[in-house]
Amino acid sequence: VIISVRSPLSKIPGPWYATLTTMHLRWGFATGNVWKMAEAAHKQYGPIVRLGPRQVWVADKECMKQILVSIDLPKVAMYAEISRDRHNPDNANHYGTEIDLMEDLHKVALDIMGECSFGKSFGQINPDKKAEVGVEDHIWKSIPRAIFAGLAKRYQNVYLKRLFRTLGINIEFDWPVQMITAIDHIVQRRRVNSEDSRPDLLQHMITEGKNPADDTRMSTRQIVDQMSEVLLAGTETTSGTIACLFLEVVRNPDVKAKLLASLPILKPDDPIITSKEIRNTEQYKYLNACIQENLRLHPIASEMGRRTGNEWVSLGGHEFPPHTVVSASYRALHRNSKYWPQPLRFWPERWLEGDDRDGAPEPELVLPSLTSSMNAYFPFSAGKHSCIGINFAWAEMRMVAANFLTRFDLEEVIGQDVDFRQFITMQFKTGSWKVTVKPRAEIIQDFPSWLALTEAAGSL
Ligand code: HEM
């Protein structure tokens, strides 16, 4: 306790108990509420706060750049801990129908990842879709669930695992045998039979994947690990982010009216609009601004842990001793009124130029010395650990949002408690968010066209 109170970190503001214990942080991480602790602490104590004896949260723009890019602090051990290998780190066919949009978006994201990484969707949207050749249907369709269940188990038990390790008991995690067998089967078939190959991520790992240490080819087991991590990193993130976009759109009627008016009106079976078209066509600029603004208000990675390693690090006028956890608070930075006037307002116009800004303050006027206040923005992080899926994520967000909103208007079902939990990424706490949808075109057709969308995404 004396060491902790006398620590060089003692000058950093924070609650009194931060010097004494990490129990509250452990509880926050295990229950998914750590983001609420960080948010409240930043509000009370400022951009640099101490929440544990050696745990500091940072929401200052310049410090963030240092953490992520110039000093490039290593990641905290939590990420390795939740890796398998610790050491190697229907219901909506009619007008005005209620759907669980969060659940549907999650299924869409999984099937898009299935199409793009394995060349086959996981049958989440359309259960009649056949599984991979040679793999039993129910096993193939259970793969995403097995991956998520595995992650949740590992995340919630990180501290328990460490405790057992100090007692000399090593608890190792592994994927379900059936899942490994299924993926192994596909890898073996593709290795033997070149006609089975297709330009997807799995094929890339089979033909190009090498171990950096000795240049040997990746084993099937390593491929399974990597594919699982990409599937995890690429589904919760996009589905949660798109759900937040729809949430902001329905909760801001002026934005919704302007956005829907800016988009063409399509029938459900009309051709899918591609992400390239959305990116390059003037008509979609307000939609692009809405996506950008949503990434500001709802960075799916609320915070990301780094650590000082074996060296002292100087940040924001403080000296951080070795082995200090430094959490980059993206969410607090993105909601800081110093950079973002009316930070809690969903204001897509801030991302537009000239007259299109429609009264949104110019960044320069926000902070006279800094034309780049809009750079206080790290939804995909920065530096060498930044998101490898950024372009994929943008393509998916554009396609899903544009193809949905050109076809359907939506309203939130009232009386729902929308809260978030943070298990690495922010998630809708209940995993559910219901809306009613009605077709925008004067024609009643089947909904949803999610299937056409996932297939189109897979062929991009
Ligand atoms: C809106 C969607 C997404 C957001 C907001 C997002 C955000 C992020 C952030 C902030 C990080 C950095 C984590 C850190 O600083 O430690 C990250 C890492 C990563 N992301 Fe994404 N991501 C998204 C979608 C995707 C997709 C679609 C994929 C895959 C197709 C993906 C794959 C990854 C991977 C593999 C990493 C780890 C990179 C590394 O550690 O070197 N992400 N993402």
> From CA 372, how far away is CA 380, in angstroms rounded?
18
C-alpha distances in Å from residue 155, one per residue of 148, 167, 171, 315: 11, 20, 13, 29
Q: Report how far residue 47's alpha carbon sits from residue 448's, in angstroms, rounded to the nearest whole number.
A: 44
Q: 106 burial class (0-12, 13-18, 19+ CB within 10 angstroms)?
A: buried
| 383 CB within 6 A, ligand 1 | no
Does residue 299 register a pLDDT over 80?
Answer: yes
**CA 167 → CA 81, 161, 162, distances in Å?**
17, 10, 9
What is the residue extent of each domain of the chain?
A: 2-88+302-333, 106-233
Beta carbons within 8 Å of 177's beta carbon, 6+ residues apart: none
Q: How far is the CA of 380 from the centre of ligand 1 (A)?
A: 6
The pLDDT of residue 349: 97
Task: Say whether 435 sits in a helix, a strand or coil.
Answer: strand
Distance in Å, CA 387 to ligand 1 centroid: 4
Q: Please list, residue by residue across 323-359, b when 16 or more beta carbons sit within 10 angstroms of its beta carbon and e when fewer do.
A: ebbbbbbbbbbbbbeebbbeeeebbbbbbbeeeeeee
The Cα-based distances of 401 to 271, 396, 438 in angstroms read: 15, 8, 15
CA distance 252 to 410: 12
Per-residue pLDDT reduced to its tens digit, 98-117: 999 999 999 999 999 888 88
Per-residue tokens: 109: 């994201």
**CB under 8 Å to 255, separation ≥6 — which residues?**
248, 249, 290, 346, 348
CA–CA distance, 460 with 455 (Å, rounded to integer): 9
Q: What is the C-alpha end-to-end distance of the chain, expressed in Å? A: 57
Burial bucket for residue 143 (CB in 10 Å: 0-12, 13-18, 19+): buried
Q: Which amino acid residue places its CA nearest to atom 1 of ligand 1?
A: 238
Please state, as a whole number, how many other Cβ atoms lie within 10 Å of the Cβ of residue 243.
24
- Looking at residue 36, its pLDDT comes to 94
Dump pLDDT digits (tens) for 32-59.
899 999 999 999 999 999 999 999 999 9
Q: Report which residue type is found at 441.
A: A
Closest to 103 (Cα-Cα) out of 332, 454, 427, 459 = 427
**Dist. CA 131–CA 75, nearest whole Å:** 37
Locate 106 and state its tokens: 């999650």
* Distance between Cα 89 and ligand 1 center (Å): 15
**Which among 110, 226, 237 is the best mutation to test ligand 1's pocket, defined by most ligand atoms within 8 Å of the CB?**
237
Tokens of 416: 């729902």
Which candidate, 215, 228, 194, 233, places its Cα nearest to that of 388? 233
Answer for the pair 232, 147: CB distance below 8 angstroms, yes or no: yes
Helix, strand, coil percentages in the chain from 3-state DSSP, rounded to 5? 50, 10, 40
Whether complex ipTM tops 0.95: yes
Mean pLDDT, the chain, integer: 85
> Is 20 a pocket residue for ligand 1 (Cβ < 6 Å)?
no
Contact at 8 Å (CB) between 269 and 444?
no
Give the span between the Cα atoms of 450 and 108, in whole angstroms: 7
User: Are the CB atoms for 67 and 58 separated by under 8 Å?
Assistant: yes
Measured from the CB, is residue 426 less than 6 Å from ligand 1? no
Q: What single-letter DSSP state applies at residue 218?
A: P
Q: Which helix (H) or strand (E) holds 104?
A: helix 101-113
Ligand 1: centre distance to CA 238 (Å)? 10
Q: Is 148 helix (H, G, I), strand (E, B) or coil?
A: helix
**Quick one: pLDDT at residue 145?**
79
Bigger pLDDT: 131 or 238? 238
- Rounded to an integer, what distance in angstroms lies between the CA atom of residue 405 and that of residue 260? 7
Whether 361 has a pLDDT exceeding 90, the answer reads: no
pLDDT of 398-429, one tens digit each? Answer: 999 999 999 999 999 988 989 998 888 898 99
Residue 206's nearest CA partner among 133, 232, 192 is 192
Q: Is 75 in the pocket of ligand 1 (CB under 6 A)?
A: yes
Q: What confidence tens digit (pLDDT) does each residue in 245-291 have?
A: 999 999 999 999 999 999 999 988 899 999 999 999 999 999 999 99
- The share of the chain scoring above pLDDT 70, in percent, equals 89
Six token digits for residue 29: 């991480």
Q: Is 63 annotated as a binding residue?
A: no
pLDDT at 433: 95
What letter does residue 17 receive in the DSSP assignment?
A: G
Span 339-363, average pLDDT: 91
Q: What is the pTM of this model?
A: 0.82
- With contact defined as beta carbons under 8 Å apart, do 316 and 58 qualify? yes
Residue 351, pLDDT score:
93
CA distance 217 to 212: 10
- Distance from residue 393's CA to the centre of ligand 1 (Å): 9
Q: Is the peptide bond before 448 cis (omega within 30 degrees of 0)?
A: yes
137-164 pLDDT per residue, tens: 888 888 887 777 777 777 777 777 778 8
Q: How far is CA 257 from CA 160, 399, 433, 434, 448, in A?
A: 50, 19, 21, 20, 22
Give residue 96's pLDDT.
66
**Ligand 1 binding pocket includes 381 (Cβ within 6 Å):** yes
Residue 400 to residue 460: CA distance in whole angstroms: 14
22 lines ligand 1 (CB under 6 A): no
